[in-house]
Amino acid sequence: MSHHAAPVNRKFWTPGVVVLGFLAAAGLAVVVARYIGGIGYVSNLTTARPWGLWIGVDVASGVALAAGGFTTAFLAHVLGRHYYEPVIRPALLTAMLGYTFVVLGLLVDIGRSWAIWKPMLHWNPNSVLFEVAMCVMFYLNVLYVEFIPIVAERFKGRVNLPGAFSVLNRALDGLLHLADRILDKIMWVFVIAGVVLSCMHQSSLGSLMLIAPTKLHPLWYTPILPLLFLTSAIAVGYPMVVFEATLATTSLKLDSEMKILAPLTRFTIFLLGIYLALKVGDMVIRGTYVYLLDGTTQTNAFLIEIIFGVLVPWLMLLFPKLRQSRRWLFTACTMVVGGVLLNRLNVFVVGYRPPISEAHYFPSMGEILTTVGLIAGLMLLYRFIITYLPVLNKPEQEVTA
Amino acid sequence: MGISRRNFFKILTAAGASAATATASAHAWQSRAPSDPYGCLVDLTRCIGCRKCEQACNEVNHLPPPERSFEDLTLLDKKRRPDEKQFTVVNRYYSGMIDERDQLIPTFVKLQCMHCQDPACASACIVGALTKKDNGAVHYDVTKCIGCRYCMVACPFEIPAYEYHDPITPRVMKCTFCYERVAQEGKRPGCAEICPVEAITFGKRSTLLKVAKERLKKNPGRYLSHIYGEHEVGGTCWLYLSAQPFEKLGFNKLPSKPMPQVAETVQHALFSYLWSPIVLFGMLSGIMWSSRGKGERDDSHKGGAQ
């Protein structure tokens, strides 16, 4: 398989990029307000509803949707399916940026942002959150290390800093050469560590809610919540790659990469099938189907999640015809991505019902703007990096589908 | 496709088998509750709703002055919850019972941290800022706190409140059980000391349970035969006696299983001694080693397969 990644040869400032810039700036303004007036000033969070949109989307969904990173690394590097290597770099970049923004989102959400390092010093091994935090921290570093070769490939022998910094050129170049050489030998450790760390914290994110049996709606509260989180994260990995590749190749008018994406989603049939079976089986065994028709917000959210987020796209992927159609494949994968997003939102926000105060929660404009701003910021950075670093595939002489 | 599918199954079976053995061999969950903690027994049939306990709490804990005076009993017209400015509040409930002059008989309910024997908040706390002390208090150490608010998610009584309007150094705020007063000065908690009708009895939890059971025995008609907090969430240091059903007084029905049990059992079964990441790392290395080079050969006929 001969593939070659290259910087995208397009001008950076397009109208879309400008819009993203405005959204990111709006989010940034809210963040500034948060550090002046406090979390209460910009959010609707209360004693009874301490976690809201920021944890549900920025953190939990952010982590889940970055699963393309470790699932593609597993496929191409661990299982040795090098055919799929072209999707590794974009998936890695998404994961790296995804986790970076998870941490940025956390900094906004936690009350004492400056104390975020404290879990390294004060351990509570009973705390699920402690394990999640440690894994996310290590994994973020693993992702940065995995990304170094891409930087090295671009700048090796070409380090050319302007003005006074030019004295550093030679040293930096040497460093890049060295890092590249060493990493080439030991990268397998980081690849496997990335998969292991991902499996750990993807599942533990689900364990987070096990501490609150009286608060989480029974449709979601199950002892196998960690297993459901893990399987859904694994299942959403490839659909997320398709989603993102389709968006990127469409907006940048690159090759559609359908000959990689279509076979990639055959794994999704199997993986999403496991998730669906577990979810339905869990519902049947615990008898929670009795809630299904009671018409509450929670029940409806659950039905939408499982029907349009899992069942329908799974059925769609079963048909080879649909898998090979770029539009249908994108539709199915978008539904899977939306389904996992909704699941995380359901577990952390919609399904969370404080039984005493019965407090309601709807995210404030400030919370929504922060989340939108973070996502826009992520997309901007993605766009910036693919413009200057070899991440996406160089267009071949091929007619796009 | 064949290879990867076989591999997937191999991994799944191996992982499943090892997970099963580990779960079976993992130690059963053990309570870390202190053996002889202090507690408070609140007798709701005695409380007259004077709000003196709120006032004492405010003074002892140096909380900000209240918006309305503690003498103002009209506050009781609305249900309140403890928050970052008041660690305890008294609410008034009417159960429909009337006295000899046809007046509705109120029941007053004092709310504060229940100081669980196996607190969910302490189990959840990412840095161990919340700990269960031997004297019964669930203690908060602000120097460790990062403000993740997982304790608030975990608490089945919705007690910990947060200083949401402090941008840089917000604290989790909840009843301290007057930890320093009790531990160092040998005094009773502020609320228990001031109560003019002895609705709040302070003492060893074991003694309080005896006292409560005695009251139940001696006054068969006066109380419901339920000590709220004896078994709820594995036991709490604050205990309640009532004449009215607890569900009608804002108390929620809770399982007798300690809140952290499921989460900690799952967590320790999966990760004690980091066995699972180590096993997984080994397995993946093995797969990576055995599949090296294979993919390349596969590619030629792979591309066409859909």
Do residues B224 and B242 lie in contact, with contact meaning Cβ atoms separated by under 8 Å?
yes
pLDDT digits (tens, 9 = 90+) for B119-164: 999 999 999 999 999 999 999 999 999 999 999 999 999 999 999 9
Predicted local confidence at residue A1, as pLDDT: 40
Give A345-395 as a DSSP string.
HIIIIITB--TTT-------HHHHHHHHHHHHHHHHHHHHHHHHSS-SBPP
**B160 and A47: CB-CB below 8 Å?**
yes
Predicted local confidence at residue B272, as pLDDT: 87
d(CA B177, CA B170): 20
| Order of strands across the sheet that contains B38-43 | B200-204, B38-43, B238-241
Which among A211, A214, A286 is the top mutation candidate for probing chain B, defined by the most B β-carbons within 10 Å of its own β-carbon? Answer: A211
| B45 Cβ contact partners less than 8 Å away, ≥ 6 residues apart | B107, B222, B223, B241, B242, B243
User: Per residue of chain B (306 residues), what is the pLDDT tens digit?
Assistant: 444 555 555 555 555 555 555 554 456 899 999 999 999 999 999 999 999 999 999 999 999 999 999 999 999 999 999 999 999 999 999 988 888 898 899 999 999 999 999 999 999 999 999 999 999 999 999 999 999 999 999 999 999 999 999 999 999 999 999 999 998 889 999 999 999 999 999 999 999 999 999 999 999 889 999 999 999 999 999 999 999 999 999 999 999 999 999 999 999 999 888 999 999 999 999 999 998 766 554 444 433 333
Give A249-294 as a DSSP string.
HHHTT----HHHHHHHHHHHHHHHHHHHHHHHHHHHHHTGGGGTTS
Q: In chain A, which residues have their Cβ closer than 8 Å to the Cβ of B281?
A: 192-193, 196
Predicted local confidence at residue A399, as pLDDT: 46
Say which amino acid occupies A63.
V
Do residues A258 and A324 lie in contact, with contact meaning Cβ atoms separated by under 8 Å?
yes
Do residues B287 and A75 lie in contact, with contact meaning Cβ atoms separated by under 8 Å?
no
**A214 and B254: CB-CB below 8 Å?**
yes
**B81 and A203: CB-CB below 8 Å?**
no
Distance from CA of B209 to the nearest CA of A (A): 25
d(CA B119, CA A92): 40
pTM: 0.91
d(CA B249, CA B246): 5
The DSSP code for A396 is P
Do residues A376 and A24 lie in contact, with contact meaning Cβ atoms separated by under 8 Å?
yes
- Distance, C-alpha B144 to centroid of its chain: 19
Nearest to A83 among B128, B264, B303 (CB): B303
pLDDT digits (tens, 9 = 90+) for A103-131: 999 999 999 999 999 999 999 999 999 99
**B124 and A51: CB-CB below 8 Å?**
no
Nearest to A38 among B128, B160, B165 (CB): B165
Asked if the model's pLDDT at residue A11 lies above 80, the reply is yes
d(CA A90, CA A71): 13
**B128 and A78: CB-CB below 8 Å?**
no
Q: How many residues does chain A have?
A: 401
Burial grade of B173 (CB within 10 A; 0-12, 13-18, 19 or more): buried
- Token pair in block for residue B33: 């509750």
pLDDT digits (tens, 9 = 90+) for A213-252: 999 999 999 999 999 999 999 999 999 999 999 999 998 8
- Token pair in block for residue A369: 């703007």
pLDDT digits (tens, 9 = 90+) for A33-57: 999 999 999 999 999 999 999 999 9
Strand partners, B140: B130
Distance from CA of A335 to the nearest CA of B (A): 21
- Distance, C-alpha B220 to centroid of its chain: 31
**B4 and A79: CB-CB below 8 Å?**
yes
pLDDT band at residue A158 using 50, 70 and 90 as cut-offs: confident
Can you say whether residue B172 is alpha, beta or left, with left for phi > 0 and alpha for psi between -120 and 50 degrees?
A: beta
Closest CA to B42 of B249, B217, B181: B249
